[in-house]
Amino acid sequence: MHKVKTAAGEFQIDEKGLLLDFNAFESDDTAVKMLIQNAGDLPSSEGLELFYIRQKELIDEAGLSQEDYAAIRRQVAIKLARVMLSQSLGDDDHIIEAVETLKDVNKALNILVLRLAANYSARGVKLDLEDKDIDPLSVIEAGSEVSAHSVEIFAGQVESLIEYKDYLEGEIEELMKRKAPNTSELVGPLLGAKLLSIARGLDRLASMPASRIQVLGAERAMFRHLKEKGKPPKHGIIFQHPTISKSPWWQRGKIARSLAAKIAIAARLDAYSDVDRSEELKADFMKRYEAVKKAYSEKPKKMRIIRAPKTRKGRRRR
């Protein structure tokens, strides 16, 4: 006896290709589940040959019309393709999409908070909006006494967006700790996720040299440097790391170079091995960071640039 699973159900046929029994699947979802689970359990080549030789007769004997069988195969094939595509997406893709979503949420939140603050100001609530880093929750709390129904609904929507942002950041943190523990521990989950997103995957990040990682996210500044012959950028998105952003300008390039070198090692460990050396990498970087802070503690003096006098072009008179 041979068992052949199809989109419609399981056919049981004898050595002559005659139908012994047919067990129909309850639904298309059941068919997809069974086909995935039994993907490695293929029927014998003899059984398949017998089934395809007498396929039309076997379908009729099972009580199915050719049109119904074709429709079932089509629906199951579409659902199976969707399931396989969703399973083919790895953590890299989820992290990249989550980072892009978080970027859009932050933009929307900044716009909505400013608009909410304007609504509060129009109703007599005094707000200090001169600070660049405005806390959305403090704005909502400041206008909590405003009783206008439309403004209350607006504030509720902003608060919901803040909660979603916190949830999204938590999801990114979990994904990064699972996918790239060394990079996540070295620079933090969010910054690590942004680096992975710009590089379009952990494997691509791991294949980059440290000098490329150092300026990831500063593509515009780099193109401007190449086109207009200006100063090259010293750092890209890694500027968001507190050891760089909180350091004086003359120390940032050296710290960024050291951090990029450690990120390159961490990314390769995450991509090509299961070894966790995050504590060692972090300690080495902090040692170098302290050395830079000590060696270059004083602000360098500006060098005076002496330019050569311009010579007049043209024919010399005799």
174: tokens are 């979990």
- Distance, in Å, from the CA atom of 164 to the CA atom of 108, rounded to the nearest integer, reads 12
User: In this structure, are residues 99 and 193 in contact, taking their beta carbons and an 8 Å threshold?
Assistant: yes
Q: Which residues pair with 12 in a beta bridge?
A: 3, 21
Phi, psi angle pair for 151, to nearest 5°: -70, -35
191 with 240: CB under 8 angstroms?
yes
Domains defined for the chain, CATH in brackets: 2-88 (3.30.420.220), 90-179 (1.10.287.4070), 181-298 (1.10.246.90)
End-to-end CA distance of the chain: 112
* pLDDT given at position 114: 87
Give the count of beta carbons closer than 10 Å to the beta carbon of residue 232. Answer: 13
Instruction: Return averaged pLDDT per consecutive 10 residues of the chain, 318 residues in all.
Output: 80 81 82 70 69 82 84 83 64 88 92 87 75 75 77 87 92 92 94 93 92 89 79 89 93 94 94 91 94 89 64 57
Closest CA to 105 of 154, 153, 157: 157
Q: In the prediction, which pLDDT does 38 show?
A: 65
CB 116 within 8 A of CB 155: yes
C-alpha–C-alpha distance, residues 318 and 310, integer Å: 21
7 closest CA partner among 56, 76, 104, 79: 76
* β-pair partners for 10: 5, 23
CA dist list (Å): 195 to 60, 222, 242, 289:
58, 17, 15, 21
Sign, CA torsion 231/234/240/244: negative
- Largest distance between two CA atoms of the chain: 115
pLDDT at position 150, please?
Answer: 80
Are 192 and 238 within 8 A, CB to CB?
A: no
Strand segments, DSSP code E, in the chain are: 2-5, 9-13, 19-24
pLDDT confidence of residue 174: 92
